Amino acid sequence: METVTLTEWLKGNHLTGNEIDFLVTLIPTFTFLQHNPEKKAQAFSMLAEQFPDFYVNPEGNYMEYDVINTTIQKNIPGKISTKEVLRRMSEQGLCRS
């Protein structure tokens, strides 16, 4: 059985290229910030510059699942399961679960 990559799975769920780019940037950024919290301002500035159509509250605690889920569902409503995205990203080494 062939393994479906994260990008293939996201495309199969009808996400746009920009939505996919947002997710594959957003989640690893949160993982990065776990180890480099002093880079928070730069990270959120980068997200705002690269993805002006998506809102990520820089004051949220992105180590909490509910905050991550709310952010994803507000920006990409109803297209994907946040738990499934995180599971697939973790399996492919793109973030830590």
What pLDDT, in 10s, does the model give residues 14-27? Answer: 999 999 999 999 99
Tokens 């746009």 -> residue? 16
Claim: this prediction has a pTM higher than 0.85: yes
Q: Is the model's pLDDT at 79 over the cut of 90? A: yes
Contact 23, 85 (CB under 8 A): yes
- How sure is the predictor about 96, in pLDDT bands with cuts at 50, 70 and 90? low
The two tokens of residue 96 are: 């830590």
- Amino acid identity for residue 72 in this structure: I
